[in-house]
Chain A
Amino acid sequence: MATILGGIGTSHVPTIGGAYDRSKQNDPDWAPLFRGYERVSEWLEVKKPNVLVFFYNDHASTFFFDHYPTFALGVSETYPIADEGLGPRAVPPLEGHAGLARHMADCLVNDEFDISVFQDLPIDHGVHSPLTMFWPPAPDWPGKIVPIEVNVLQHPVPTPMRCWKLGQAVRRAVLSYPENLKVVIVGTGGLSHQMNGERAGFNNEKWDMKFLDLIARDPKKLTAMRHADYIRLGGTEGAEEIMWLAMRGALSPRARKIHQNYYLPMTTAMAVALFEEPAAKTSSKKPRSARKASFRTRAARAGIQRRFQP
């Protein structure tokens, strides 16, 4: 059965990918950002997941407001890199795990999450800007992705609670996949920033720190907040943080934050946080421990339901 090793929360601002493409590792203005991702890439190197499930948002690159999906699940074997006005970024097309994605579509819809699906559509910096920081192509991508698009552009956008519940449903879907896949969940966006109006350039480091604490320790508090709260505290685009909530909802209550980095050089607070599931420790062993992991996983699922069902 598939297992979830942990999760990653990360900003996806395009300059992260830009700094990677321009090899800014040793530039003092960018080095603190690169250093912050080192622990994440080392962890992935050791854990070797097969698939990263990405909660991300499209930036009116692929989808347009004539039909902007609230939630959309990618079910392709491959995704072209989107052209965002300068031609596609020079990284290979993203590889999708179609088998897992189709299974997730079946599970989600039968779990009353009537998600829309897409295939053969390009994906923008919402996924690949942070991806090259911790899973760079060398020259091919180290594994596959399953992208889940979330509308954070055009209100009404889904509530924080709904994103949390989507995460829980994605957890049930992934854990019921019969193949022995190792999966990591990624939530992208944020932290504080605003890209419109005279309030553009707004940041709130104090709120960002509180968010990074709550997402690990008491995510339920974050699900009870409204979008107006997120916008007031973190700016209109800071509200992208609901995609971190989807990631956290897909982890067990016992997942632990083992690393975080925060860097606010310009307009967007760039953060990354790494979460590890306790069950992941035994996942590299043989069949007996695999059964143990499966039992632990079931217990963790029951734990979530007991603790968070309204």
Chain B
Amino acid sequence: MNPQLKGAEKLAGTYLFDLATSAKALRLNRFLHGLTVAANRTLFKDDPDAAFEKAALSAEERTMVRELDWAALIRYGGSFFCLEKLGRVKGVSNPEMVAGFRGETLEQFLKTRNVPGAR
């Protein structure tokens, strides 16, 4: 184990993105990272199944992406920074994604913030 991280595994609700996670979710994260290319975004918007097929996503991966199940995507090994690309393409803001990770609605999450309007 990486001695720099020893102890961090005990933090509840925290998913460390390490090499094992990265390897497990490489295909999913490559698909998400690919959304930085306009042609891939167009394909995903016009024909999501064709985009999933091209990226060879598994049935589980397709369901999580289709349903924008942010909590499941993170648990599976999605990198937040790759998921961010999906958020932008689908018009979902970071506070909405964070609410999803916490199992809250956006309204519930915003109530916990200092300046809910700063979005």
Q: Which residues of A line the B interface, CB within 8 A?
A: 14-15, 29-30, 59-61, 64-66, 82-87, 153-157, 159, 194-201, 226-228, 231-232, 236-237, 264-267
List of 5 A-B pairs having minimum Cβ-Cβ separation, nearest first: A198-B13, A85-B88, A265-B115, A265-B118, A199-B13
Q: How many residues does chain B have at the interface if contact means C-beta atoms less than 8 Å apart? A: 55
| Contacts known (A65-B26, A66-B30, A153-B17); A199 close to B98, Cβ less than 8 A | no
B113 touches A198 (CB 8 A): no
Nearest to A193 among chain B residues (CB) is B98
Instruction: Write out the residue numbers on chain A whose beta carbons fall within 8 Å of the beta carbon of B114.
Output: 264-266
CA of A86 to CA of B36, assembled, Å: 8
Q: Tell me the smallest distance from the CB of A238 to a CB of chain B, in Å.
A: 12
B41 touches A85 (CB 8 A): yes
Q: Tell me the smallest distance from the CB of B90 to a CB of chain A, in Å.
A: 9
Instruction: Write out the residue numbers on chain A whose beta carbons fall within 8 Å of the beta carbon of B43.
Output: none
Partner of B101, one of A66, A198, A264: A198
Nearest to B103 among chain A residues (CB) is A198
Instruction: Write out the residue numbers on chain B whose beta carbons fall within 8 Å of the beta carbon of A60.
Output: 29, 33, 79, 81-82, 85
Instruction: Write out the residue numbers on chain A whose beta carbons fall within 8 Å of the beta carbon of B115.
Output: 29, 265-266
B113 touches A265 (CB 8 A): yes
Partner of B74, one of A29, A196, A231: A196
| Contacts known (A30-B118, A155-B5); A200 close to B102, Cβ less than 8 A | yes
| Contacts known (A84-B84, A227-B5); A267 close to B94, Cβ less than 8 A | yes
A194 touches B118 (CB 8 A): no
Q: Tell me the smallest distance from the CB of A142 to a CB of chain B, in Å.
A: 27
B11 touches A232 (CB 8 A): yes
B5 touches A201 (CB 8 A): no
Instruction: Write out the residue numbers on chain B whose beta carbons fall within 8 Å of the beta carbon of A237.
Output: 80
| Contacts known (A60-B79, A198-B103, A265-B115); A155 close to B26, Cβ less than 8 A | no
B4 touches A153 (CB 8 A): no
Instruction: Write out the residue numbers on chain B whose beta carbons fall within 8 Å of the beta carbon of A232.
Output: 7-8, 11
CA of A228 to CA of B16, assembled, Å: 10
Instruction: Write out the residue numbers on chain A whose beta carbons fall within 8 Å of the beta carbon of B6.
Output: 226, 228
Nearest to A227 among chain B residues (CB) is B4
A155 touches B11 (CB 8 A): no
13 contacts between A and B (CB under 8 A): A60-B33, A60-B79, A84-B36, A155-B16, A155-B18, A195-B101, A196-B80, A197-B13, A228-B6, A231-B16, A265-B118, A266-B114, A267-B94
CA of A141 to CA of B95, assembled, Å: 31
| Contacts known (A265-B114, A266-B119); A153 close to B81, Cβ less than 8 A | yes
Chain B, residues 52-69, CB within 8 Å of chain A (1/0): the string is: 000000000000000000
CA of A228 to CA of B7, assembled, Å: 6
B14 touches A231 (CB 8 A): yes
Nearest to B91 among chain A residues (CB) is A86
B residues 5-46 touching A (CB-CB < 8 Å): 5-8, 11-19, 22, 26, 29-30, 33, 35-38, 41
A83 touches B79 (CB 8 A): no
CA of A66 to CA of B5, assembled, Å: 22
Given contacts A30-B118, A59-B84, A83-B38, 16 further A-B contacts (CB under 8 A): A60-B29, A60-B82, A60-B85, A61-B81, A84-B36, A85-B35, A85-B36, A153-B79, A153-B81, A154-B79, A155-B17, A197-B15, A227-B2, A236-B15, A265-B115, A267-B113
